Amino acid sequence: DYITETNYRYVGAGQGNLTVNTPFMILWGRILCFLLTLLLLALLIYFLTRPGMSTTSTTTTRAAPLPIGECTFWGDPHLVSFDGGRPSFYGDGEYWIVRADAVRIQGRYMGTKYTEGLAATNKIVVGGAFLKGHTIMVGTLESDVLTVDGQPVLAGFPSSYTLPGGAGSLTYNDQGELVDPATKVWEKRVVTMSLPMGVHITVFRWANYLDFRLMMTAQP
């Protein structure tokens, strides 16, 4: 028996009389693979370069809160300033307690029988841009001064009041740590002010003078 064998010999490009044809399905398969590769590459470039995509991480650092300082006035008048100083003065008059760009607090000092004529805090007035144009005034029990913008507030005891426009709140009760322990023998009448910019003022109203504690951050 016999079998038929066909042999081909490569003689160089364009030199022979036969060519090798690639089957149709194999050719289109290669084209599709090439196109898919291009498509995947294009998608990769798009996702890496579109706005909002970044491989750089960003760390947000929050500023540390400013320390809160405390200043206290009591008696005729004794005081401890924000920096720990202990100046004393005894003359009548009106003086700045805080004179910052936004926060303004003044005190009126007058002699009393209790202090044998030496000046004590008789009234404090709180105002400035941080109160949105409002003014708070607190006087002694004898003066009966307790106003916001010249109008009486906190008529009851205890009572509370909210400043217009959300500029802070006031309470009137018997709560608060005494500035002067010697006054513990008297019934407390305490005005507490919770104001913008972290300003907190506690005023102890006695018959003819005031003690108070002021807490706030440093202001320009």
At a CB cut-off of 8 Å and minimum separation 6, what does 79 contact?
A: 71, 72, 73, 86, 87, 88
Mean pLDDT score of the chain: 85
pLDDT single digits (tens) 43-66:
778 777 776 555 555 666 676 777
Residue 141, CA atoms < 13 Å, CB-side half-sphere: 13
Predicted local confidence at residue 205, as pLDDT? 97
CA distance 116 to 35: 101
- Range with lowest mean pLDDT among 47-51, 94-98, 208-212: 47-51
Backbone φ, ψ for residue 141 (5° rounding): -65, -40
Predicted local confidence at residue 59, as pLDDT? 65
Dihedral of CA atoms 148, 152, 153, 154 in degrees, nearest 10, equals 140
Predicted local confidence at residue 67, as pLDDT? 87
Predicted local confidence at residue 101, as pLDDT? 94
Helix (H) or strand (E) holding 201, with range, is strand 200-205
Predicted local confidence at residue 160, as pLDDT? 97
Q: Provide the pLDDT confidence category of residue 118 given band limits of 50, 70 and 90.
A: confident
Count of C-beta atoms within a 10 Å radius of residue 202: 21
> CA angle at residue 140 from 128 to 77, to 5 degrees?
80
At a CB cut-off of 8 Å and minimum separation 6, what does 115 contact?
A: 75, 76, 209
pLDDT at 96 over 60: yes
At a CB cut-off of 8 Å and minimum separation 6, what does 6 contact?
A: none
CA distance 205 to 211: 7
Structural contact between residues 190 and 154, judged by C-beta atoms closer than 8 angstroms: no
Residue range 19-23: mean pLDDT, rounded: 56
Predicted local confidence at residue 18, as pLDDT? 57
Type of residue at 123: K
Predicted local confidence at residue 166, as pLDDT? 87
pLDDT at 24 over 60: no
At a CB cut-off of 8 Å and minimum separation 6, what does 149 contact?
A: 134, 135
Predicted local confidence at residue 181, as pLDDT? 94
CA distance 156 to 29: 92
Question: Which of 77, 82, 78 has the alpha carbon at shortest distance from 214?
Answer: 82
